[in-house]
Amino acid sequence: MKKIYLDYAASTPIDPKVLRITNKHLKNNFANSMSLHFFGQKAASAVEESRKKLAQIINAKSEEIVFTSSATESNNLAIKGTAFAAKKRGKDHLIVSSIEHDCVLESARWLLSQGFKVSFLPVDRYGFVNLDELEKLIGKNTFLVSVMHANNEIGTIQDISTIGKICRQKGIYFHTDAAQTFGRETIDVEEINIDLLTASSHKIYGPKGAALLYIRKGVAIEPILHGGGHEGGLRSSTLNVPAIVGFAWAAEIMQKEAKNENERLKKLRDYMIGKILTQIPRTHLNGHSKKRLANNINISFNGVEGESLLMELSFAGIAVSTGSACSSKNLMPSHVLQALGLPPQEAHGSLRISLGRYTTKEEIDKTISVLKKIVEKLRKISLF
Amino acid sequence: MKSLYSKQTLKHFRSPHNFGEIKDADAMGEAGNIVCGDVMNLYLKIGKNKNDEEVIKEAKFKTYGCVAAIATSSVITDLVRGKTIDEALKISKDQIVETLQGLPPIKIHCSVLATEALAEAIYQYLLKNKRKIPPDLLKRHQIIEKSKKIIEERYQEWMKLQKAIKK
């Protein structure tokens, strides 16, 4: 059975060229990039070259890029790091959107326990943050606004340039988690007034274990990892040279292909959405029909529960994701779908299908035909 | 394929036994709530065996829910068939989990869904036929009712929240 991977938003397979380069560095470029000898300097120059490449993608300066191990770590550093720096200036309030990734929400909730104040910015039915509410929430003690560029579950792309403008006017830092858009969508940190930005390698066909946090020069931030003073003292840890080099190559390839690839994916996406909504009754699209990631599809199937759907698809060799409660630890459906205002049945019956570089029309057609049968089968068992 | 679920669970999930409705059921029990993502209806047909005891002749289910919810629903319809009411009431969640060769810890609550639906069906049956309800069953019924109420409140809160968002 030919397997079909439609979970590119969770992770991507490594690009073959990136794999070759990463392997080469893993084998030959082993030294500690902090070492002064020529072995170390060879590693250091590979890191710096990568830093430069990655900075260019978002129109940042090399020295504004801090390497980390994951988007989770970058988001933790952005949120907690600016919080502890803000505390010194007597500021203690941050605003995060209610549909952020768990690593942002949990960091914010942890800060609550440390005496900080957190506002959770509501979203409308498409997942767009309420901009009027944002302006209202900003107070004299606010130091940070964190709103993700595009949502990982429903694909909604936020109006980050307006958010950037609001934050700049009020003199507040703006952080955006761009894990789903870095290399895919055009991002210019100068034009959009972004002060901190998170990006990750494994979402763009790079190796796992490398990510970055862009920190605008002059932003007050404290490290969360203390030690040997790597990355300008902001992130102590021996650098993962091969993964970083792979990350930079992956980003470069991604950016080069982005325009054509996004066009191709959008066509496939809209084709699949159209087919599902018309051929399978009692379905509806979550998120916005146009302002969404080129590769994201999120659909609720009334009368069937997401985990059951996912498992049946998995048996048929098709890999997707769900926001159902049954796949989560707290047995509540995804906080993103809840924030959209979906009734329980629709929140429990959602599937996220994310397309990628190797997705073909044949795969989409196959998936639709399998999905039709599975939904029919599960609805026969179901009460609704 | 190595899975979170046991072979037996997946077998019941993929080819569930006795799903559907019994139109002229003698008893129906409902358990679970859509807020939690699992709802089960259990239908029973009750008759006499050759010793003139009341036994469950037929059981069918309809379930909205995850893999574990569907598998436990399927298993209980097998387990109750031919049992007297007293015997059926003795079926425990552990017995269901055992028959399924184990459930992931986070899914154990799904096995309760099945025993609750069964207890509710029998309770409704006895009530309808004006029969004496064993104290244990009455207690179980009261607990189920209470938790239904709590979840119903959660549901109302949810809908209130959703309305606020949609504005």
CATH of the domain at B49: 3.90.1010.10
Backbone phi, psi, residue A14, to 5°? -70, 140
- Containing structural domain, residue B144: 7-166
B94 has pLDDT over 70: yes
B166 has pLDDT over 80: no
Selection from A158, A128, A129, A147 nearest residue A197 by Cα: A147
Q: Report how far residue A306's alpha carbon sits from residue A302's, in angstroms, rounded to the nearest whole number.
A: 10
Whether residues A345 and B34 touch (CB distance < 8 A) is answered with yes
Q: Report how far residue B151's alpha carbon sits from residue B140's, in angstroms, rounded to the nearest whole number.
A: 17
Report the pLDDT value the prediction gives residue B1, as an integer from 0 to 100: 43
Of A122, A307, A308, the CB nearest to B165: A122
User: What are the chain A neighbours of B158 within 8 Å (beta carbons)?
Assistant: 338, 344
Q: Is residue B56 part of a domain?
A: yes
Q: Is residue B32 part of a domain?
A: yes
Report the pLDDT value the prediction gives residue A328, as an integer from 0 to 100: 59
pLDDT tens-digit map of B27-84: 999 999 888 889 999 999 999 988 899 999 999 999 999 999 999 999 999 999 999 9
Q: Is residue B1 part of a domain?
A: no
Report the pLDDT value the prediction gives residue A44, as an integer from 0 to 100: 97
Selected catalytic residue, list A326, A368, A370, A378: A326
Report the pLDDT value the prediction gives residue B159, as an integer from 0 to 100: 73
Cβ-proximal residues to A300 (8 Å cutoff; 6+ apart), any chain: A283, A284, A286, A342, A346, A347, A349, A350, A351
B164 has pLDDT over 80: no
* Structure tokens that stand for B92 in this block: 């425990």
Q: Is residue B126 part of a domain?
A: yes
A103 is catalytic: no
Report the pLDDT value the prediction gives residue A85, as an integer from 0 to 100: 98
pLDDT tens-digit map of B97-123: 999 999 988 888 888 899 999 999 999
pLDDT tens-digit map of A176-198: 999 999 999 999 999 999 999 99
* Structure tokens that stand for A222 in this block: 């404290």
- How many structural domains is chain B composed of? 1
Q: Report how far residue A118's alpha carbon sits from residue A97's, in angstroms, rounded to the nearest whole number.
A: 10
Of A123, A333, A381, the CB nearest to B63: A381
Q: What angle do CA B19, B22, B25 make, to 5 degrees?
A: 135
Contact A66, A235 (CB under 8 A): yes
Report the pLDDT value the prediction gives residue A348, as an integer from 0 to 100: 92
Of A307, A325, A383, the CB nearest to B36: A325
Q: Strand B54-64 vs strand A350-354: parallel, antiparallel, or unpaired? A: unpaired
Q: Where would I find the H helices in chain A?
A: 16-28, 38-57, 71-88, 102-113, 131-137, 160-170, 241-279, 306-315, 335-340, 344-348, 361-381
Distance from CA of A365 to the nearest CA of B (A): 23
Q: Is residue B89 part of a domain?
A: yes
Q: Give how far Cα A275 sits from Cα of A268, A271, A283, A321, Å.
A: 11, 6, 11, 19
pLDDT tens-digit map of A278-325: 999 999 999 999 999 999 999 999 999 999 999 999 999 999 999 876
Q: Report how far residue A51's alpha carbon sits from residue A73's, in angstroms, rounded to the nearest whole number.
A: 17
Q: Is residue B109 part of a domain?
A: yes
- Determine the residue of chain A that is closest to B110 in CA distance: A326
Reported as a pLDDT band with limits 50, 70 and 90, residue B163 is low
Q: Is residue B2 part of a domain?
A: no
Report the pLDDT value the prediction gives residue A46, as an integer from 0 to 100: 98
User: What are the chain A neighbours of B70 within 8 Å (beta carbons)?
Assistant: 308, 381
B162 has pLDDT over 70: no
B2 has pLDDT over 60: no
Task: Report CA A356 to chain centroid distance, whole Å.
Answer: 15
Rg of the Cα atoms in chain A = 21
* Reported pTM: 0.93
Q: Is residue B55 part of a domain?
A: yes
Report the pLDDT value the prediction gives residue A76, as an integer from 0 to 100: 98
Report the pLDDT value the prediction gives residue A243, as an integer from 0 to 100: 98
Low-confidence spans in chain A with pLDDT less than 50: none
